[in-house]
Amino acid sequence: MSPDLNPLTSVVAAESARLAAAGTDVIDLERLRTVVDSMVPFNNFVGVRITELSREHAVAELPVRDELLNHFGTVHAGALFLAAEVAGAGAFSGAMAPRVLQVQRFVLRESKVGFLKPASGRIRARATVDQQVVTEVLARRSAERFELTGTALLHDDAGLLVARVELDYVAWIAAA
């Protein structure tokens, strides 16, 4: 993907300039959460939001909306998957925060979804990524392509575990 087609190019340029002006290279996790939360138009359309982002995990919340329900009146499987995918992207961003501005591409390659119970109400998806892989990539500081796995657990308003999603990513990162 050429830099001209990469939707992150303008975000990275603006954040790099902001950090340089501030005299630091440490990205603020709350600012990162805000950027990641708003950058995908489809997520904004559906209303899924990243409500927590740390180096260890991220949480995405799916609102209660009639348009997100299936014909049985429970949350649609596609909406559940979207919440898991958004939480996974947040978890990746938080884990990679020290080098997130060098990430060139991050793609969900494969997933496995276990729908465990019918979901109702607001959905909270909590995702993590493989911290061992992240630690190794951050330590190398080289340009590379790497693979990473993650897991998202989805709970409904009643606190019931309604789905488990295994996420398999591939990412490319520039040298630090």
Instruction: Indicate the domain borders of the chain.
Output: 8-173
Which residues touch 37 (CB under 8 Å, ≥6 apart)? 43, 49, 50, 90
The per-residue pLDDT for 4 is: 52
The per-residue pLDDT for 19 is: 75
By the 10 Å C-beta count (0-12 exposed, 13-18 middle, 19+ buried), 51 is classed as middle
**pLDDT, tens only, 85-103:** 999 999 999 999 989 889 9
**pLDDT, tens only, 25-56:** 777 888 888 888 888 899 999 999 999 999 99
pTM comes to 0.89
What CATH number does the domain located at 8-173 have? 3.10.129.10
pLDDT bracket for residue 3 (50, 70, 90): very low
Q: Contact, 44 vs 82, CB < 8 A? A: no
